[in-house]
Structure 1
Amino acid sequence: MQLQNKKLDWEQFLQIREEVLKAWPTGQEVDLTEAIAYQKQIPVHKRFGQKLEEAKKEGITLAQPRAGVALVHEHIELLRFLVEEGGADLLPTTIDSYTRQNRYNEAQAGIEESRTAGRSMLNGFPAVNHGLAACREVTEAVPVPVQVRHGTPDARLLTEISLAGGFTAYEGGGISYNIPYAKEVPLERSIRDWQYVDRLVGYYEEQGVSINREPFGPLTGTLVPPCISHAVAIIEALLAAEQGVKSLTLGYGQCGNLVQDVAAVRSLEELADEYLSRFGYQHVVVTTVFHQWMGGFPQDESKAFGVISWGAATAALAKATKVIVKTPHEAMGIPTKEANAAGIRATKQVLNMLKDQPLLENQEITVEKELIKAETRAILERLLEFGEGDIALGTVRGFQAGIIDIPFAPSRFNAGRLLPARDHNGAVRLLDFGNLPFGEDIKEIHREKIAQRGKSEGRDPSFQMVIDDIYAIGKGMLVGKPR
């Protein structure tokens, strides 16, 4: 059956569900009626979407770290520490890499090794292996809402267990958790699997339980042009809304130029409202998340705090609803809980200092915002053409044609022709447009800005600029200018 953006028939969903729950023994613990009853007794102050909606109304930015370890009690200890010592407003449960690839036998081995070693031998929390009771132990043990964060092309079983386990927010999508994460997973398959996820979330919504959904905004993390991450976010928002999702948080990864980043956050929310309304999805609450710098970090902790604080300031001035916090140990691997808490405290200090500042607006931001909107609309409209009005089908065809293209992604279902580089002021532009459906007016803006940089640096624009930009922040700069 041809892929389409159409709400899954409930009987069809239940047939698929029988097989999904058999993928690992803990799937048999999930009883949907009991799970909904359990979710309904979770207090309002621990409901993720509710807290985001309140923050949006108040115009403040909430801070959320990343965190996850292998064993239940150690994971609870970590999350409590991040609230008590870091001041986290929202909490994550980052899932381990084996679970992300549905390799539950290896995740189980990692749990056993962690028990033997007395420390986590996994890079996250294996929620599927731990099962329903353990997930509830985690979510009940902390005083703030908790979200599942992972990177899973097929997240159906993880969704069933984690929602029944009391998590009130769930990250990911069929594009954002496939193209940047996997090489061999067909896009059509991952979109279908995530339609299941969103149909399940939509069913909870129908029963009076709102689960927040968040597509993964940064994608490959480094030098992703705003129009690319915006297009993916809006596609995944439309796919989720069709399945009945009502609480959506759309994300964007920091590029580093204040004007472009503020313009990106504001344009993302406006574009999402525009497209959701256009396709008739009413009563969907859209909030935004800003991810602090996702590229290379300086090894020096003091310099790393500078990068973290710049991200916090940008999130506050853009009025993002929440910010995903990095740590001063980013350059060295998985952080200690102390380093993680320190990153949150640094972020919160800046957020608190800037919370009463008005939304940053000026002519430069307005011009940049309109450019991002024009680029994003060009991509989305061509995808709708390719899909004959259906965004799901158009997305698969569009990726095949390179109409949408994520730079530096490992997937063989991604064209990989797009080549971004910074302009003289550090905004991300395009050195090679690949097959993006931009008019000459948009292309000329990019060419002029990159040519201006080349002139100021005394060199012709080339791939070397891209390489220099990727390593620049780790070396203490934003733009990779020759020394």
Structure 2
Amino acid sequence: MDPPGPAVRAAGAPDSPVGDFGAFVRRSHRAGRLVVQPRMGFGDPATMREGLLATRRADATTVGTLTLDSYTRVGDLAAIEAALREGIGLNGFPIVSYDVETTRSVLRDVRSDDFPVQVRHGSAVPFDIFVALMRAGLSATEGGPVSYCLPYGRTPLDESMRNWERSGTLFAQLREWGANPHMETFGGCMLGQLCPPSMLVAVSVLEALFFHRLGIGDLSVSYAQQTNGAQDREAVLALRRLCAELLPDADWHVVIYAYMGVYPTTPEGGYRLLGQAAELAVSTGSERLIVKTVAESRRIPTIAENVAALEHADRVARMAGATGGPGVPAATATAAAEAAMQDSQTYAEARSLVDAVLNSHPDLGHALLLAFKRGYLDIPYCLHPDNAGRSRSHIDGDGWLRWADTGSLPLAGLVGGRRARPVTSSDLLEALSFVQRSYDQPFLYGDRPLS
């Protein structure tokens, strides 16, 4: 491997970087504030800058987002050139295709130590993205060799692993410039839905360990809101416990994603679901929340809709206790830590999955490849060729996501091997719309929602 450190340095990485992402989140949490963040990206630089400024001005504690377009994600730069030449709109910011001064102009006088900006992308081939964001003076991004490979295409997992190892090694070099590189693992959001929480927790922790072993010490671990609030709380506390056990010398925080599956179509249902994600974050001592908007079921949201979602989540978080006073965050974190020390079904399953991977090989990248090959990690309903595809999930009568078939997962003694009745296509379709129906139905029929 020959990372182009000199090339990045020659392009003008800042001598005094601003916007330490992890430090800002930790500082906000100590002050009793939940950090809220949009998933916002625009192809036009002026609109992207406007979106960042609106996020910074929102009545909430926010960080900025540069979400990249789908062509950049797969490395189709020719398609971007054609779109820019023909004036065709892109669904995100093409950071690799724009010259570095364009990106810097978007960020100039916008980001600061009190408003850091993160790059979000979704790529299994991210090296050029890392070079571009580092050239622009940015030091926070996200993804992972598993979570940005299996759900998004057919890039071989071993190729993604090499790509991410190369990119992460380069990213760690930011410390040489006085910056503190921050990496968020997307592992807690695999496919966004219908993945039992123990698998989400395990992949998130494993990707965090992968980045930590590459020399990145400032991390965030993700978890996507699922189908039952009580199960979600159990999962996030299991995630916190595993990180405390396995990443004792890292700085890490937890980021919650508002539900990533089929979203409610009514504004009332969408806001209610987002509000419960904010309550989940507060009740588990989590430090950051990625919001979704009321427009998610129909189209890409506007800047104003993103701001409305940020401010709604912040209001709910305050009501839930995130800003009730200087002692509230510490008390919340302490209560979450105490609860996390208790064994739970989710913790037991996730620990078994993580241990099976870590015991497979001393090199974690190779261990992850072996785990998928042997079926120790297996994502339900994921069609990627490197996924065994033998595990299945279902939603039980209480709305909890359960294993219907564990395939070769190392969960013997923790989970029954197979559900009595196989999961059918109609079961799957019903499960995919479970959250949408649950949150829309009271409003579509004029009833008040259940508390």
1:87 Cα deviation (Å)?
Answer: 3.8
Q: 1:113 to 1:313 in 2, by over 3 A?
A: farther
> Match of 1:379, as an amino acid?
L
> Match of 1:189, as an amino acid?
E
Unpaired segments of 5 or more residues in structure 2?
Answer: 442-451
Query: Does residue 231 of structure 2 align to residue 260 of structure 1?
Result: yes
Question: What is the DSSP-based 3-state SS (H/G/I as helix, E as strand, rest coil) of the residue aligned with 2:296?
Answer: coil
Query: Does residue 5 of structure 2 align to residue 13 of structure 1?
Result: no
Question: What is the DSSP-based 3-state SS (H/G/I as helix, E as strand, rest coil) of the residue aligned with 2:96?
Answer: helix
- Do the aligned partners of 1:64 and 1:324 also contact (CA within 8 Å) in 2? yes
Where does residue 448 of structure 2 map in the other structure? none
1:79-119 Cα distance to aligned partner (Å, 9 max, x none): 212332464611111100000001111112222333xx6xx
Q: 1:338 to 1:248 in 2, by over 3 A?
A: same
* Candidates 184, 188, 196, aligned match of 2:166: 196
Where does residue 110 of structure 1 map in the other structure? 83
* Candidates 241, 255, 269, aligned match of 1:289: 255
Query: Does residue 208 of structure 2 align to residue 237 of structure 1?
Result: yes
1:169-223 Cα distance to aligned partner (Å, 9 max, x none): 111111111111112x111111111111211122112443101101113120012
| 263-272 or 146-155, which deviates more | 263-272
* Candidates 350, 372, 385, aligned match of 1:399: 372
Unpaired segments of 5 or more residues in structure 1?
Answer: 1-11, 19-27, 452-459
Once residues 55 and 103 of structure 1 are traced to their aligned partners in structure 2, the CA distance between those partners, rounded to angstroms, is 38
Where does residue 142 of structure 1 map in the other structure? 110
Once residues 47 and 311 of structure 2 are traced to their aligned partners in structure 1, the CA distance between those partners, rounded to angstroms, is 21
Once residues 406 and 111 of structure 1 are traced to their aligned partners in structure 2, the CA distance between those partners, rounded to angstroms, is 37
Q: 1:383 to 1:31 in 2, by over 3 A?
A: closer
* Candidates 34, 39, 46, aligned match of 1:66: 39
Query: Does residue 63 of structure 2 align to residue 90 of structure 1?
Result: yes
Where does residue 386 of structure 1 map in the other structure? 360
Where does residue 5 of structure 1 map in the other structure? none
> Match of 1:328, as an amino acid?
V
Once residues 33 and 395 of structure 2 are traced to their aligned partners in structure 1, the CA distance between those partners, rounded to angstroms, is 30
1:368 Cα deviation (Å)?
Answer: 8.2
Query: Does residue 15 of structure 2 align to residue 47 of structure 1?
Result: no
Question: What is the DSSP-based 3-state SS (H/G/I as helix, E as strand, rest coil) of the residue aligned with 1:13?
Answer: coil
* Candidates 243, 265, 288, aligned match of 1:299: 265
- Do the aligned partners of 2:265 and 2:440 also contact (CA within 8 Å) in 1? no
Where does residue 143 of structure 2 map in the other structure? 172
Query: Does residue 441 of structure 2 align to residue 468 of structure 1?
Result: no
> Match of 1:41, as an amino acid?
S
Once residues 208 and 344 of structure 1 are traced to their aligned partners in structure 2, the CA distance between those partners, rounded to angstroms, is 31
1:393-439 Cα distance to aligned partner (Å, 9 max, x none): 12101111211012232311111222112222222111111211112
Where does residue 418 of structure 1 map in the other structure? 391
* Candidates 135, 151, 154, aligned match of 2:125: 154
Query: Does residue 218 of structure 2 align to residue 250 of structure 1?
Result: no
Q: 1:131 to 1:228 in 2, by over 3 A?
A: farther
> Match of 2:8, as an amino acid?
D
Structure showing the higher helix proportion among its residues:
1
Question: What is the DSSP-based 3-state SS (H/G/I as helix, E as strand, rest coil) of the residue aligned with 1:251?
Answer: strand
- Do the aligned partners of 1:263 and 1:369 also contact (CA within 8 Å) in 2? no
- Do the aligned partners of 2:272 and 2:439 also contact (CA within 8 Å) in 1? no
Question: What is the DSSP-based 3-state SS (H/G/I as helix, E as strand, rest coil) of the residue aligned with 1:252?
Answer: strand
- Do the aligned partners of 1:426 and 1:478 also contact (CA within 8 Å) in 2? no
Query: Does residue 348 of structure 2 align to residue 374 of structure 1?
Result: yes
Query: Does residue 98 of structure 2 align to residue 130 of structure 1?
Result: yes
> Match of 1:32, as an amino acid?
R
Matches within 5 A, 1:427-446: 427-440=400-413, 442-444=414-416
Question: What is the DSSP-based 3-state SS (H/G/I as helix, E as strand, rest coil) of the residue aligned with 2:394?
Answer: strand
1:61 Cα deviation (Å)?
Answer: 1.8
Q: 1:414 to 1:138 in 2, by over 3 A?
A: same
- Do the aligned partners of 2:141 and 2:184 also contact (CA within 8 Å) in 1? yes
Q: How many residue pairs end up in the alignment?
A: 428
- Do the aligned partners of 2:42 and 2:92 also contact (CA within 8 Å) in 1? yes
Q: TM-score, normalised by structure 1?
A: 0.82
- Do the aligned partners of 2:17 and 2:179 also contact (CA within 8 Å) in 1? no
Question: What is the DSSP-based 3-state SS (H/G/I as helix, E as strand, rest coil) of the residue aligned with 1:386?
Answer: coil
- Do the aligned partners of 1:260 and 1:365 also contact (CA within 8 Å) in 2? no
Q: 1:461 to 1:86 in 2, by over 3 A?
A: farther
> Match of 2:100, as an amino acid?
L
1:462 Cα deviation (Å)?
Answer: 3.8
Query: Does residue 28 of structure 2 align to residue 32 of structure 1?
Result: no
Where does residue 446 of structure 2 map in the other structure? none
1:323-361 Cα distance to aligned partner (Å, 9 max, x none): 000000010020122211111111111012121365396
Q: 1:59 to 1:403 in 2, by over 3 A?
A: farther
1:390 Cα deviation (Å)?
Answer: 2.7
Q: 1:74 to 1:272 in 2, by over 3 A?
A: same
Question: What is the DSSP-based 3-state SS (H/G/I as helix, E as strand, rest coil) of the residue aligned with 1:303?
Answer: helix
Query: Does residue 309 of structure 2 align to residue 343 of structure 1?
Result: yes
> Match of 1:74, as an amino acid?
T
Once residues 71 and 88 of structure 1 are traced to their aligned partners in structure 2, the CA distance between those partners, rounded to angstroms, is 25
1:60 Cα deviation (Å)?
Answer: 3.5
Once residues 385 and 231 of structure 2 are traced to their aligned partners in structure 1, the CA distance between those partners, rounded to angstroms, is 30
Alpha carbon RMSD of aligned pairs, Å?
A: 2.7
Question: What is the DSSP-based 3-state SS (H/G/I as helix, E as strand, rest coil) of the residue aligned with 1:290?
Answer: strand
Once residues 254 and 159 of structure 1 are traced to their aligned partners in structure 2, the CA distance between those partners, rounded to angstroms, is 28
